[in-house]
Amino acid sequence: MYLKSLFLNWIRIKDSFLILFALPIIVLFIIDSNHFILGWNEGAGGGFLFAFVFLILEWYDARNLLKFNLTIGRRLGIIVSVFIITGYFFAIYAAGHTELISEFGAKFGYTTLPQILSWTRMWDYIIYAIYISSLIFMAFGIRKIKHFPTPLVFLLGMAFILLLDATFPYGSMQSLQVLMQPILAITVLLLTAANVRVELVDVDNLAVWGQKGFLFINMYWQCAGILSMTIYLLVILILMIKLHTSLTRKLIYATFGALGTFFVNIIRIFLIIYYGAFIDVNLRMFHESIGEVLFTIWIVIYLLIVTTIEARRARNIKSPVVTQSLESYTR
């Protein structure tokens, strides 16, 4: 009875409940820290961390609107959810039963190693999204899920990207290949301005001559960051929808966010190629980490800019009201 009372008292402390959201991240780290390499198909840990950061932001935004509704059935549901997701990750990654997911994917034609990796990671993101939704539902009710759109959109968006990557590998989706052509054109222009000898070959390949040797880079739509831009843009749009301001200002902020995301992606490609030309032709580690770092920095800067502008605007709106009230009082 004492342990039960202790658990209920702990779980009723709202901020302590965040530990349950972080539990799958902790489990993945215990199983294998390599899951947190910031690289495509290297592991879902890094993506989970980004989702958890978004969840914390949403949590403190909606904290005062959340009220625990912990019936016996809901408590049992929380415990079952925890055991299911931890059991899944231990079975797949600790016990090595990845063939269960691979065989399921093979029925849909995903047989090559890159396809299997994308297929497996896709389910990691889907399961974590379901886990977050189930915890919110069990603890606070189904209507409260609407207060946490950003982490769920990010996780399901990443799952959708991985599904496309498994279905259309190596630039086979020509419509997305076409979209990356303006990205490459601007990148080549920037590289030329930075005294990097570079040529565009066959529309979607780059030949680069640098101090560290010659590079021939095959640019597929995955490498061009098209869908990554889409996900981060969706996150920005959701944040703008939740912003308490006029529709016109939301559209201005969203446009600014879209343009910023587009140019951050170009800077990412520019830095990767510049790194290969002048620092090290072995691009793998740099390529797999720079994108997430840049996009995270950009979103933080973007939010700071928007919140600063809105805070100053709110103060300017209040000031005339206060002045007018004081004048009326003196009369």
pLDDT tens for 170-212 read 655 666 667 777 888 888 899 889 888 888 887 777 888 878 7
**Which of 200-204, 258-262, 281-285, 288-292 is predicted most confidently?**
258-262
As a whole number of angstroms, the distance between CA 16 and CA 59 comes to 12
As a whole number of angstroms, the distance between CA 110 and CA 155 comes to 21
Q: Which two tokens stand for residue 54?
A: 């978004």
Burial class of residue 116 (count of CB atoms within 10 Å of its CB; 0-12, 13-18, 19+): buried
As a whole number of angstroms, the distance between CA 118 and CA 105 comes to 10
As a whole number of angstroms, the distance between CA 122 and CA 162 comes to 6
Q: Which of 102, 44, 66 is nearest to 292 (CA)?
A: 44
As a whole number of angstroms, the distance between CA 304 and CA 299 comes to 9
pLDDT tens for 265-279 read 889 888 888 888 888
Cα distances (angstroms) measured from residue 303 to each of 108, 141, 300: 40, 29, 5
| The pLDDT value given to residue 153 | 86
* pTM, entire model: 0.74
Q: Are 232 and 261 in contact (CB under 8 A)?
A: yes
pLDDT of residue 80 exceeding 90 = yes
3-state secondary structure of 169: coil
**Least confidently predicted of 54-58, 76-80, 84-88, 232-236:** 232-236
Phi, psi at 22, each rounded to 5°: -85, -10
Q: How many CB atoms lie within 10 A of CB 100?
A: 12
As a whole number of angstroms, the distance between CA 112 and CA 170 comes to 12
Q: Which of 49, 250, 254 is nearest to 158 (CA)?
A: 49
Amino acid at 247: L
As a whole number of angstroms, the distance between CA 87 and CA 13 comes to 26
Residues 6+ apart with CB under 8 A from 38: 46, 288, 289, 291, 292, 293
**Least confidently predicted of 39-53, 96-110, 286-300:** 39-53
Q: Which two tokens stand for residue 101?
A: 């997911």
Place of tokens 């559209």: 251
| The pLDDT value given to residue 325 | 44
